[in-house]
Amino acid sequence: KHTMRIVLWMGVLLACVSVCHAQGPAATSSSRGAFVGVDEDQNLCLTPPTDGRVMLGEIDVLATISQQATLIDNLQAYVGAQEELNVALQCRAQSNGFDMSMALATRGAVDFESFEIQGRHYLAVATHRIVHYEYESTIFVWDGTQFTPYQSIPTVGARSFRHFMIKDRHYLAVANFKRSDEEYDVESELFQWQEGMFHPFQQIPTKGAADWEHFVIDDQDYLVVANNIVSVTPGKSLATYRVNSTVFKWDGGQFAPIQDILTYGAFDWEHFEIEGEHFLVVANNNDESIRNIDSMLYRWDGGQGQLVRIQRIPTHGACDWEHFVINGTHFLAVANIFDGDTYRLNSEVFKWDGSQLVSFQKISTSAAADLQHVEIDGSHFLAVANNYDGASYLVQSHVFKWDGNKFVPFQQIATQGARSWEYFEISGTRYLGVANNFNGNSYEINSAILQWNSRCFV
């Protein structure tokens, strides 16, 4: 009986299996015991069970009923993994190109920030550059069926937006990166919502600002800026990535600096809270020409009223941190973009062990620029914005799904120099937006909004 079932399944496998390249990156084990992986071309594929007897069909060498039962379980799992892959490939076919839920007319987009004000949904899109850097960024509003332009915001090489509230007031902070390839000492700006529009509220001197993070501790509001680079000699090309990033505190009328922290090409700050303690982690991207540098984890010391470094974390051109919680366990994932040699390298998921972050899982990525955690009906996903593969910006970005033990490949999405993901919901419908920055020839390209259809994003 066991032998007959195995022969039948082997026939099914030989007819429909699509296997990974033998020399591709290490595949990731699926929840079904077989493997769904990513090959050297960043395509989803299957890696067969490693038992050579399974692949050759040498069933007669299995000596015991127990071994036969194990083989049957493995083959069932393999067929199940094929089914999972077929769903993923169907999703990919639906989402290739830009005939998705909707295209968004953007130019040189690097960041999306979604927010809601008085029942209306908005999406702020940071424009970094087109030909030069002094371009307006755009706030879109949802009109019931699509996003339409609502307000233009003057920006200078914008890298990111951050929306937050203080009491009943809405604010939008923009991180302005540079005015030209030699001028990084530019002011970033804080806007306040008044009478249906954002108006300039406070200008803050920054140095190649890449990100703002807002956080609240004991009802006190703070902002921290990730300063990436500073001009050594104004107007000259000489610059350094060793620059202080700054923590600001709300004094009731504006934000005032309270702490400088030496960072190395900082690209992102991420705040999170565990059992009443507050932490911030910075993505250090570059120490002059060195990309394999440590990012830093800080804990808030309430007595000193400042951040104290508690851990160094090895990263490789880190661009983004993403914090999330699964079944009560805290995780942080880092997007690694370049290690000095290759853009095809692992990004990494870390797990909080009660006192520090420890490596949990490595994920194959291509110049990963951003990460976005998504939870839908109890399922957890991690979207990776793959920016470049060393030869082309027309690369597949990936969505990974939590299988109960780890993240496994779930969906591929065609992107063009992707720089950011943003997840949001409108009237119960779930969306995932991607900021497409550059296709290798032009910054004048559409970004995309994908819609969840109960199986995948399309």
Q: What is the pLDDT of residues 34-57, one digit of tens each?
A: 445 666 655 666 555 544 433 333
Give how far Cα 49 sits from Cα of 20, 43, 135, Å.
12, 19, 53
Tokens of 97: 């190109």
Q: Which of the residue ranges 43-57, 238-252, 261-275, 358-372 would you say has the lowest mean pLDDT? A: 43-57
Residue 41 DSSP SS3? coil
Which of the four pLDDT bands, split at 50, 70 and 90, describes residue 84? low
Residue 113's DSSP bridge partners are: 124
Q: What is the pLDDT of residue 2?
A: 43
Q: What is the pLDDT of residue 29?
A: 39
Gap between the Cα atoms of 176 and 155, Å rounded: 6
Which of the four pLDDT bands, split at 50, 70 and 90, describes residue 8? very low
pTM above 0.95, yes or no: no
Could you tell me if 307 and 300 are in contact, meaning their C-beta atoms sit under 8 angstroms apart? yes
Task: Find tokens 């500073």 and name the residue.
Answer: 230
Gap between the Cα atoms of 301 and 212, Å rounded: 21
Tokens of 176: 């302005």
Q: What is the pLDDT of residue 131?
A: 85
Q: What is the pLDDT of residue 287?
A: 93
Q: What is the pLDDT of residue 57?
A: 38
User: Given 3-state DSSP classes, what are the helix, strand and coil percentages for the chain, each rounded to the nearest 5?
Assistant: 10, 55, 30
Q: What is the pLDDT of residue 182?
A: 82
Q: What is the pLDDT of residue 42?
A: 55
Could you tell me if 280 and 300 are in contact, meaning their C-beta atoms sit under 8 angstroms apart? yes
Q: Would you tell me how many other CB atoms lie within 10 Å of the CB of residue 96?
A: 13
Could you tell me if 413 and 393 are in contact, meaning their C-beta atoms sit under 8 angstroms apart? no
Q: What is the pLDDT of residue 5?
A: 41
Residues 238-258, mean pLDDT to the nearest whole number: 96
Which of the four pLDDT bands, split at 50, 70 and 90, describes residue 194? very high
Q: Residues 394-435: pLDDT tens digits?
A: 999 999 999 999 999 999 999 999 999 999 999 999 999 999
- Average pLDDT of the chain is 85
Q: Would you tell me how many other CB atoms lie within 10 Å of the CB of residue 68?
A: 17
Which of the four pLDDT bands, split at 50, 70 and 90, describes residue 236? low
Which of the four pLDDT bands, split at 50, 70 and 90, describes residue 17? very low
- % residues pLDDT > 70 (the chain): 77
Residues 95-102, mean pLDDT to the nearest whole number: 49
Q: What is the pLDDT of residue 454?
A: 81
Q: Residues 116-175: pLDDT tens digits?
A: 999 999 999 999 998 889 999 999 999 999 999 999 999 999 999 999 999 999 999 999
Q: What is the pLDDT of residue 453?
A: 87
Gap between the Cα atoms of 80 and 92, Å rounded: 19
Q: Residues 266-305: pLDDT tens digits?
A: 999 999 999 999 999 999 999 988 999 999 999 999 999 9
Amino acid letter at 435? A
